[in-house]
Structure 1
Amino acid sequence: MQKNKIGIFLPYAENYDSHYGGAIARWCHETLSRNLDKYHFSVYSASGDKGYPEGYKTNIYGKYISFIKNKERKYARNLLWAKIFYQIKRFTCRDSFLLFSLFNEIKKNDIVIIHNRPKLVSFLRRLGFDKKIFLHLHNSHLANLAINEINDTIYHSDKIFYCSDFLKTEVEDKLNKNNNKNIVIYNGCKNISDSNFFEPREKVILFSGRFIDDKGILELIDGFNLLKGSYELHLAGGVSSGIDNATSPYYEKIKNKIKVNDKIKNIGYLDHDLLLKKMRESEIFIMPSKWKEPFGMVALEAYLSGCKVIASKNGGAKEFLLLDAVYCDCEPKSIFKAIVKSIDIKNYVPSNDMGYFSWDNIAEKFSNELDDD
């Protein structure tokens, strides 16, 4: 029997790669790789090299975008060249241009899944695509549109996947109505044995993420500076995914704050397996975001690695952390109190059955939605 052809369109900024790619690329890899026997996948992405093997495709324009992104990364610390390549990217790299340039390939699919770019749904319809279109949202991009644009996107979509009930509710509350096209498919996590929960852990409070204001890193540092004792704060990540050499005014503020406390370590960007190892070694993981994290895959991974987790009160993380986390506001005193409370928790073991969030289960739910047409 011929397999259904499924096209996956990624935003041009999302490399289909375990190193330079983010949560969207990982979600696709983990779910697609478990369903290769059932479907023929084509992943359309502006990546230079295919870090993941599931049917990756690009074209000349995609390679051009990849070239510009690579140059921007290479010269990230040269403020002049970084600004030049940023401006080139800003004016010449577009998701709509990439989709248009790939349309002759994309139209061969039975279903097209567009990740995180709601306006492309209507654009693809205007290009003449008359088969199934699914929209998969990992952020609040749909809820942030005007109501007429939201309705237009819903009208032209056959299904809309959300990575959390929080994201789904944002849209439904704005429209003041539910929609049977709206479906929650959570992010997942690599299966991690619970055998390490009772092993000694380093007195480390671990943060992992992009070094941007939304992540609340400056507030985290100020909160940690109120703590007395032997704990260290380790910051994993960088200004951009996959690189350590980029800088920004916000990153410079972080570096200046770190200088006054030798218990704060910038450990740089860690590949995924190394990050999981670091989580299994650390006692506490913290995600004190200013913005409402739609899900927080990194917090799920830390949770299943046996870390005590501190998370911001708002967003989707409560859907899997439930009562097992310590919650805080993105404010130094609140973060400090959450750290103290976490340190006081002894013999910590997650109380929830987290098998629901295994990639095997998430991939099966994804497959069920593809079959239900």
Structure 2
Amino acid sequence: MHILIVAPERIPVPPVLGGSVEISILAIAKQLARLHQVTIVSRAHSRYPRQSVIDGVHIHRVPTGQPKKYLQHVINFMQNKKFDLIQIDNRPRFVGPIKRAAVDTPISLFLHSLTFVSPPYSTRRTATKDLALADLIIVNSSSLKSQLSTRYPGAAERIRQVWLGVDTGRFRPSRRRSAAKAFRVLFAGRLIPRKGVPVLLKAAKLAGRVSSRPIQVVIAGGSSRSGYANKLKALSRSLRVNARFLGAVPHTRIHRVFRRADIFVCPSQKHEAFGLVNVEAMSSGLPVIASSNGGIKEIVRHNRNGLLVKHYHRPKAFADAIVRLMNDSRLRNKLKQQAREDCLANFSWSASAKRLSDIYTTEFV
């Protein structure tokens, strides 16, 4: 099959810093390219040429700006070209115009979250129309499939689930033993309210009161709103928590940050469709403490490969989990070993691509 993947308009492929959707697009495309001809159309960026080939994947970059402008450039690129399948990632509003431009070509919509079928990006009526136009809808977790089916029952029969993955070669456990005095607790992700960084900082404060070892919170992630990042820094100072803010770390280097941590904490306060950072941490051999919500529960299994926090709005619940792992090295070692094994077995990009390829060949060949 010749598969065209249409990336969103905001972040280029490959992403310059980070962007889980764009990371996933390229990682899966490189694996798909072993079985199919794969072309990606993405936004232009000053760092990249208009065309390039990465591990057999042809990437064409077009001007961006407002979504309508980018979409028109995508459609212009498609003219006089033949594709067997078009996959649109995370942009339901693109389905209609692209379907009209490629009338006889099946359209797959790969949704990475509920964001773009929810206000303020879409109304229920508009999302229902957009989803109805897709021949197939791919989601990254059973949780997202369930939520989407409940909201839009007319689309339920066309939804298929494909877990995302991790580069298990790059995200691997460190061979060096840490000589740091402080117990390093890592958070990686966008600095936005729903990610729960204030809960983590307050949890570190509570854990520090009962621990014999000092705690350092390492926060890797940027924010489009500098005011919010400054609020988090101010909160850490007011709590007298040892917090190190790294800012936005390019995804090409983030694996090094994981290797220097003792544990990873994901304190998400709202539904997470999948939670890519959790499998990256697990593959890196880090015990994970995560909110028990959404697709996270499909990845992190309580007391098997990590710890799930049921009352994830409460800092004390995270504090208790942090202290438990600090004080129990046998449990830490058990969790990180199982986490690594689970990633190798279930969360490789090759497994993601095989599942997606099987779906496409079954449905469209």
Shorter-chain TM-score bucket reads 0.7 to 0.9
SS for the counterpart of 2:265 is: strand
1:227 equivalent to 2:207? Answer: yes
> CA shift at 1:157, angstroms?
1.1
- Residues 349 and 37 (structure 1), Cα distance of their counterparts in 2 relative to 1, 3 Å cut: same
Residue in structure 2 matched with residue 279 of structure 1 by the alignment: 258
CA–CA distance in 2 between the matches of 1:24 and 1:52? 19
CA–CA distance in 2 between the matches of 1:292 and 1:112? 28
> CA shift at 1:18, angstroms?
4.0
CA–CA distance in 2 between the matches of 1:251 and 1:52? 37
Residue in structure 2 matched with residue 332 of structure 1 by the alignment: 315
- Structure 2 counterpart of 1:179, from 138, 152, 156: 156
> CA shift at 1:367, angstroms?
2.0
> CA shift at 1:41, angstroms?
2.3
- Structure 2 counterpart of 1:188, from 165, 174, 199: 165
More divergent stretch after superposition (159-168 vs 266-275): 266-275
CA–CA distance in 2 between the matches of 1:266 and 1:7? 38
More divergent stretch after superposition (130-139 vs 320-329): 320-329
1:40 equivalent to 2:37? Answer: yes
More divergent stretch after superposition (197-206 vs 332-341): 197-206
CA–CA distance in 2 between the matches of 1:128 and 1:268? 42
**Percent of residue pairs identical:** 24
Q: Deviations over 1:243-291 (max 9, x none)?
A: xxxx522111012123343621112332335322222231110110122
**Letter of the structure 1 residue corresponding to residue 74 of structure 2:** L
SS for the counterpart of 2:317 is: helix
More divergent stretch after superposition (197-206 vs 322-331): 197-206
More divergent stretch after superposition (107-116 vs 336-345): 336-345
Residue in structure 2 matched with residue 296 of structure 1 by the alignment: 275
Residue in structure 1 matched with residue 342 of structure 2 by the alignment: 353
**Letter of the structure 1 residue corresponding to residue 229 of structure 2:** Y
CA–CA distance in 2 between the matches of 1:21 and 1:14? 8
1:211 equivalent to 2:191? Answer: yes
CA–CA distance in 2 between the matches of 1:133 and 1:345? 50
Report 1:131-142 matches (<5 A). Answer: 131-141=105-115
Residue in structure 2 matched with residue 105 of structure 1 by the alignment: 77
SS for the counterpart of 1:113 is: strand
The alignment of Structure 1 onto Structure 2 pairs a total of residues equal to 333
> Could you say what the CA RMSD is over the residues aligned between the two structures, in angstroms?
2.6
Report 1:53-132 matches (<5 A). Answer: 53=54, 54-59=57-62, 62=63, 65=64, 93-107=65-79, 108=81, 109-127=83-101, 129-132=103-106
Residue in structure 1 matched with residue 297 of structure 2 by the alignment: 318
Q: Deviations over 1:140-172 (max 9, x none)?
A: 136535554444233311111101111111011
Residue in structure 1 matched with residue 12 of structure 2 by the alignment: 15
> CA shift at 1:192, angstroms?
4.7
CA–CA distance in 2 between the matches of 1:194 and 1:33? 17
Q: Deviations over 1:60-107 (max 9, x none)?
A: xx1xx4xxxxxxxxxxxxxxxxxxxxxxxxxxx322321122213225
Aligned residues of 1:143 and 1:174 also touching (Cα < 8 A): no
In structure 1, list runs of 5 or more residues that go unmatched. 66-92, 241-246
TM-score by length of 1: 0.81
TM-score by length of 2: 0.82
Residue in structure 1 matched with residue 235 of structure 2 by the alignment: 257
CA–CA distance in 2 between the matches of 1:52 and 1:256? 45
**Letter of the structure 2 residue corresponding to residue 326 of structure 1:** L
> CA shift at 1:194, angstroms?
10
CA–CA distance in 2 between the matches of 1:23 and 1:169? 21
CA–CA distance in 2 between the matches of 1:367 and 1:346? 41
**Letter of the structure 2 residue corresponding to residue 340 of structure 1:** V
CA–CA distance in 1 between the matches of 2:172 and 2:38? 36
In structure 2, list runs of 5 or more residues that go unmatched. none
